[in-house]
A and B are shown apart, each in its own frame.
Chain A
Amino acid sequence: KQEVTQIPAALSVPEGENLVLNCSFTDSAIYNLQWFRQDPGKGLTSLLLIQSSQREQTSGRLNASLDKSSGRSTLYIAASQPGDSATYLCAVLLIKAAGNKLTFGGGTRVLVKP
């Protein structure tokens, strides 16, 4: 059974600092890994998707790395801004005959202080 863990559960940094969010998963046979952002009371916004064959993906100030063999992904957010305050979720996709299943971590709640 796939388990996804995110550490830390919460993170508070001053504006301008770089953010490092960690995600680990137990079953390395993933198809892809997605990082999402969730604002309070809102839905999920997909930030980055990394295919299992890829090592990293970048979008603006965001960079996500994937080490499938060790079951880890890291989301880096450069030069954090107060607008980056949100909960960040990672999710891994497994392709099975019984259906494609996206398993989420518990999230990291980020607060960027001005």
Chain B
Amino acid sequence: DTAVSQTPKYLVTQMGNDKSIKCEQNLGHDTMYWYKQDSKKFLKIMFSYNNKELIINETVPNRFSPKSPDKAHLNLHINSLELGDSAVYFCASALSGVSGRKQYFGPGTRLTVT
């Protein structure tokens, strides 16, 4: 059973396009995250949602808009894609208020903007 899943796994698109990445978790967690891993392999948090409410927005361009239709889903929509958006995007989830707050990561979506 997949705990945190992302679709698509690979995404190749041209500059200026709009694209979405989907994330779903079946762990019953109430907090979900989006991270970006750049070409230098540095992982940085982008957004955090708790119970469908935006908690963290880490100075991400407003071309990036997360949407959480319910606690099990956190989608990432990107408008007007730029070359610098090429990266691997990871979704993660955790359960707040529980000792540990361990984050579980999805397999990643490799976005290539040409």
Contacts and interface: CB of A to CB of B under 8 A. Distances in A.
B56 interface: yes
Interface of B: 31, 33, 40-45, 48, 50, 55-56, 90, 92, 94, 96, 99-108, 110
A49 to B, nearest CB: 5
A31 B45 contact: no
Contacts of A93: 101, 103
Is the contact region of chain A dominated by helix, strand, or loop, or is it mixed? strand
Given A51-B99, A106-B42, A43 B105 contact: yes
B100 A51 contact: yes
Contact of B41 (A32, A34, A87): A87
Contacts of A101: 45, 48, 56
A102 B103 contact: yes
A62 to B, nearest CB: 16
Interface residues of A, number: 25
Contacts of A87: 41
A32 B94 CA distance: 13
A32 to B, nearest CB: 7
B101 A31 contact: yes
Contacts of B101: 31-32, 93, 95, 100
Minimum-distance CB pairs A-B, first 3: A99-B55, A99-B56, A43-B107
A100 B43 contact: no
24 contacts: A31-B101, A32-B100, A32-B101, A34-B102, A34-B103, A42-B107, A43-B107, A44-B90, A46-B104, A46-B105, A49-B102, A51-B100, A87-B41, A93-B101, A95-B101, A98-B55, A100-B48, A100-B94, A100-B101, A102-B33, A102-B45, A104-B43, A106-B41, A107-B41
Nearest to B102: A49
A64 interface: no
